[in-house]
Amino acid sequence: MVDFLESFFSFKKIYRPGYFNTPESFLKYIDKQKPQAIIAEDSFLPSISDRTTRFPVVTIITGKIERGLETAIKHHSDRYLYAPYHVKDLEYKLEKVILARNELSSMKREIRELSIVADLSQLISSTLDPKEVLYRIVKKIADEIPVSRCSIIRVDWRHKSAFVVASYEDPNMCSIRLDLKKYPEILAAFKTKKPVVIRDISSDPLMKKVRQLIMPLGIKSILVIPIKVHEKVIGTLFLRTARAERTFNEAEVRLLNIIANTSANALYNAILFEQVEDEKTRLEKLAITDYLTGVYNVRYFYHHIIEEFNRAERYVFPVSCVMLDIDFFKKVNDEYGHRTGDEVLKEFAKLLKRNTRKSDVLARYGGEEFIILMPQTPADGAMAEAERIRLSIKRHKFRSIKDKRIITVSIGISSFPHPEVKTHDDLITFADNALFEAKNSGRDKVIIFQ
């Protein structure tokens, strides 16, 4: 296994691999480092999984495939490999897990930003006191981004004067007069109608005339954001933040710009909060959806099967679990390429959606495996549904495959009540066992766990 990985990374120069012989040495490493992805043998997972949830994990199954899959799934692996190992397979899965995690990080950042905006909208809409509204804005900024100063400034251009109307350092501070000649960054923001970032006061040419006045204050970076409504600068409100230790990064500038826009809209109308909530809901839906096929991901499935199994136990309802695996899918990838394989998976998922009931929960289990939770469905009902799905797939002509070869599916079913099904994990495991039996006994069939 190590030889295979060393050979792989010797050709893939974009990665900088590190190798660890013991869980202890690996855990010590990730305490200080943030790897893009982790490749771990299944025997390692129980010892490290509690600390690897922040990173995408590709599991190498070295022993029995069934046991290795159970371990990988139990410890939330993103992908897995089993012998015989192929360079293209590892390359594809490694790229996919890194991409998926990056997309998830991006979504989390967006959700955080939207959550801040939503919180701020609620805060400033819960009072009619203008002074309190302005203070809540600067206080929220200071809570979210480390700054040494944060204030809202009112500018009176007719009299060329400016006033601090809110400052997070002191909620009672207001109407402190400023000399605009000493604030070229505010003047620049008004003229350009864009954020002005002074990354380093000691070298920025904009601050040349006032540098000697500001340097003794220990401020390194300044950010000024004009508050706009319908692309027009509101002539009286400016956000001005400052910090001593480091410059503002792009994410902070973006977040503050969002807050500035939100504040302006929230001061003048009450509809932003609903818009933000809708967007937040959309992003949360993306977080529980498989990125390739558009069906639910396995984590969402686990959440639902736990609830449904508890309900079935409490009220003695039947519940069934159906696992499906595309037969000889590796041949599709080998003959037509992984891109075609992805298109087949997308088309396969759409076909499953059309053939599952509204009450069922369909998810991608991993690779070419899918899983369906069928609430209040006994074994014979699940058998009928699974057989209908099997025939539908067999009759379907996949558009992504030019020669229209027939694609079949093997299906395993387990149901509760059953003397051996004690937990929701049993329901999944026995469906997987039945699927394994269906594949070993000729494929293109449905097997119920007995």
Q: Do domains 113-273 and 288-450 have the same CATH topology?
A: no
Query: Between 208 and 14, where is the model more confident?
Result: 208
Please work out, in degrees rounded to the nearest 5, the angle formed at the alpha carbon of residue 134 by the alpha carbons of 128 and 137: 115
Query: Between 356 and 247, where is the model more confident?
Result: 356
Least confident segment among 194-198, 231-235, 329-333, 408-412:
231-235
Confidence bin at 302 (pLDDT 50/70/90):
very high
Confidence bin at 175 (pLDDT 50/70/90):
low
Per-residue pLDDT at 40 exceeds 50: yes
Q: Do 125 and 134 form a contact (C-beta atoms < 8 A)? A: no
Superfamily name with CATH number, domain 113-273: GAF domain (3.30.450.40)
- Torsion of the alpha carbons at 194, 197, 202 and 207, rounded to the nearest 10: 20
Least confident segment among 259-263, 392-396, 429-433:
259-263
pLDDT number for residue 277? 61
pLDDT number for residue 195? 85
- Sort residue 432 into left (φ over 0), alpha (ψ -120 to 50) or beta: alpha
Beta-strand relationship, 319-326 and 409-416: antiparallel
Whole-number Å distance between alpha carbons of 58 and 150: 44
Superfamily name with CATH number, domain 1-85: Response regulator (3.40.50.2300)
- Full DSSP string of 246-307: SPPPHHHHHHHHHHHHHHHHHHH-S-HHHHHHHHHHHHHHHHTB-TTT-SB-HHHHHHHHHH
Residues in the chain: 450
pLDDT number for residue 275? 47
Whole-number Å distance between alpha carbons of 333 and 331: 5
The predicted model scores a pTM of: 0.42
Structural domain spans, the chain: 1-85, 113-273, 288-450
Instruction: Indicate the SS3 state at residue 446.
Output: strand
What CATH number does domain 288-450 carry, 3.30.565.10, 3.30.70.270, 3.40.50.300, 3.30.70.920? 3.30.70.270
pLDDT number for residue 107? 79
Per-residue pLDDT at 239 exceeds 70: no
Instruction: Select from 9, 180, 96 the least CA-distant residue to 364.
Output: 96
Query: Between 256 and 375, where is the model more confident?
Result: 375
Q: What phi and psi values does residue 376 have, to the nearest 5 degrees? A: 50, 40
Q: What is the mean pLDDT of the chain?
A: 82
Task: Give the residue numbers annotated as catalytic, written as ranges.
Answer: 368
The whole-number average pLDDT for the span 356-384 is 94
